[in-house]
Each structure stands twice: as structure tokens, then as C-alpha cells.
Amino acid sequence: MSKEQSAIRTTYFSILSNAGLAIIKGLAGFLGNSYALIADAIESTTDVFSSILVLLGLTYAKRPADKNHPYGHGKIEPLITFIVVAFLVTSATVIAYESILHIQTPHKVPEPWTLLVLGGIIIWKEISFQIVIKKSKETNSSSLKADAWHHRSDAITSVMAFIGISIALIFKEGYETADDWAALFASVFILYNSYLIFRPALGEIMDEHVYDDLIEEIREKSLEVEGVLGTEKCFVRKAGMRYHVDLHAIVDSNITVKEGHEIAHKLKDYLREKLPDLGHVLIHIEPNEY
């Protein structure tokens, strides 16, 4: 299975998981008098739509390079990540606003059984996070990573809700709004996670230099190719799940242009064989003396 197919399959898992949990949380929150659970349901609902966007983005990103997109369509991924972050920020804002309204409005203490629902949700969302974040690392997908952090932020809001409802049940009168405060604090965590997701995607769009380990590996592998005496400049930029490389390779200044051309092709093929995550590899030949 290709990386693209693996990422798409993982996104289907996220969509089904979030849809199921949104229904469970919404019903439990309504029947159990817990706005923290309702806030959780709101976030899971936005997660469904954001996961659908991730799916569409991954499907588009796997399209092959064409005349208008010689480097492929991978840049759609960080753009989709920006939209996912917008969903997160929107849900956090709605949760915060509704929490403040509920804090100001007297209401019943949440039902004790809502804690059992939350306990199951927390465990499942953390498992979901681990599954999706593992796939995001395997596929180098920034949008899948954002989807994974949706699961983690959902788990965090559920933990906060669990704490809030526990306080309300233990201390009873006067602490009815504890789960509302929990939802409000959870919205802050969601905003913080939004920044953690947004920052790497911005770096990807801006071709930020953050690939020192990969560059070092490229330099080491280059020296294994016959005729390559060393390397000079090496630039890496990411597009989707692939890394595009511009590399200056040093060769003997006495060889012919044809021989230098052959070394460049061998180096390109060797790097793409040894480092399958590489996309376009552009080799510039430099003489070892002037």
C-alpha cells in the first residue's frame, strides 16, 4: 500500500470515529445535563468536517505532476491544514462563548453516569490519536498530523469535562457550573493546539529550513556514489509527503561534461533509491578546483 493510500484510509477511520463520538457525546450531554459533553460533541462534529477536508486534500495531493504543477500537487496539504486549524479555532470560540453563557445560568448538576461515558471517550480518543499520529509520521503528511491533533485535543476536552463533572458531583450545591468552567478551560487548550498545528504547516508553505537531519543523510549517501568527491549546497523543501532536493555535488574538474552528467544521474537515482521519501532531485555539478 502506498503512503497516499495509507493516509486516505486513516482519514476514513477519523471520519467514522468522530461521527460516532459526536452522536454519543451529544446524547449523553443532553440527557446527563452536562454542557462540557455537549461542547465535546460540538468539537467532534467540526472534526468530522475537517477530516472530510483532509480526505479531499489527500486525494488531490496524490495526483501526479503535470504541465502546470511540475512538482506535483502536494502543497495542497498545508493549505488544508490551515482550514483544519480554522475549524479548531472556530469550535474553541463557540465552546468558550457557550461556556460563559452556561456559567451565568443556573442549572442542574450533571448525572454521575456521564463520567463513565467520558472515561470511555478519553481512552478511545487517545488510541485514535496514537493511530493517526503514527500514520502521519509514516507518510510525512502534515494534514494527517493536524487530524491526529484533533483527536488529542478532543481527548483533552474530555479530560477537562471529566474533572469538571467530578467536582460538581463531589461538592454538589454551588459547584453546578464546574463542568462549564472545564469546557471553558478546554477551549484554551484547543487554541494552543491550533497554534502547534499551524506553525509547521506555515513553515512548509514558506519552504522553511527545518530538515537538517535529512540533509545530513543526503550528504552521507551522496559520498557512496562513485565519482562524487563531496557536496556543497543542499536545499530541501517539502510538498505533501515528498521532499524536493537541490544538491551541489563536487566532482573531479578534469572529467568531461558527459562524465559529469552521468555522475549526476547516478547520484539522483541512488538518492531516490535509498531515500524513497524524496521527490524531485536536482543535481548541480561543481568542480573540485577552479
Q: What is the DSSP string of 78-119?
A: HHHHHHHHHHHHHHHHHHHHHHHHHHTS--PPPPTTHHHHHH
What's the pLDDT at 201?
Answer: 82
pLDDT value at residue 14:
87
Residue whose cell numbers read 475549524: 87
- Residue 248 — φ and ψ, nearest 5°? -100, 115
Dmax over CA atoms of the chain, in Å, equals 88
Distance CA 150, CA 14 (A): 9
- The conformation of residue 110, written as its DSSP 8-state character, comes to P
Q: Pick the closest to residue 44 from 31, 59, 29, 56 (CA basis).
A: 29
Sign of torsion over alpha carbons 146, 200, 138, 69:
positive
Count H helices and E strands in the chain, helices first: 8, 3
Give domain limits for the chain. 3-205, 212-287
- pLDDT tens-place string over residues 145-199: 878 877 887 787 788 888 888 888 888 777 778 878 887 888 887 888 788 778 8
| pLDDT of amino acid 222 | 96
**Architecture of the structural domain at 3-205:** Up-down Bundle (1.20)
Q: Assign a CATH topology to domain 212-287.
A: Alpha-Beta Plaits (3.30.70)
Measured distance CA(129)–CA(154) in Å, rounded: 9
Decide whether 3-205 matches 212-287 in CATH topology.
no
Predicted local distance difference test score (pLDDT) of residue 47: 77
Q: Which residues of the chain have pLDDT under 50?
A: none
Beta strands per DSSP E along 46-108: none
Return the pLDDT at 290.
55
Strands (E), 104-175: none
Q: Is 174 helix (H, G, I), strand (E, B) or coil?
A: coil
pLDDT of residue 107: 67
